[in-house]
Structure 1
Amino acid sequence: MVFKRILHYLNPLNWFKKETDNPSLRAMHGINKLSLIMFLICIVVIIWRMLNR
């Protein structure tokens, strides 16, 4: 269930849908998506480095 929500959240087709008219809320969601993507990339890099030692 959690992974399904994360995949839905990270789906590029959902990024450009207009959810609300409130620009502050849209900016907050954009920053949250960016931080989640950066976090996942860092986790992949950490795992990659652990496996290559």
Structure 2
Amino acid sequence: MRTKDLFDFGPVFGYFFRKKDPNRHTNFNLRTMHTINKISMLMFLAGLIYMLFKFVILR
């Protein structure tokens, strides 16, 4: 596995910025689930950035 593969965030950004599919049926539960998933991914990335900052800068 290469270093480039470790930092490939394309699928993550694709999840946040994809277009709405008019053929896909959505309801409140599905929208809520996706919103919670997005929040949890943002919190994980924020924590990861914080840990990298703490490790690299404040070492």
- Please classify the TM superposition score into its range, dividing by the shorter chain length: 0.7 to 0.9
Which one of 39, 43, 47 corresponds to residue 38 of structure 1?
43
Q: Which runs of 5+ in 2 are unaligned?
A: 1-7
Moved over 6 A (4+): none
Q: Indicate the SS of the match to 1:21.
A: coil
Q: Provide TM-score, normalisation by structure 2.
A: 0.66
Q: Which runs of 5+ in 1 are unaligned?
A: none
8 Å contact kept, 1:20–1:26: no
Which one of 4, 9, 16 corresponds to residue 3 of structure 1?
9
Greater length-normalized contact order (CA 8 Å, ≥ 6 residues apart): 2
Q: Over the residues paired in the alignment, what is the CA RMSD in angstroms?
A: 2.2
Give the structure with the higher percent helix: 1
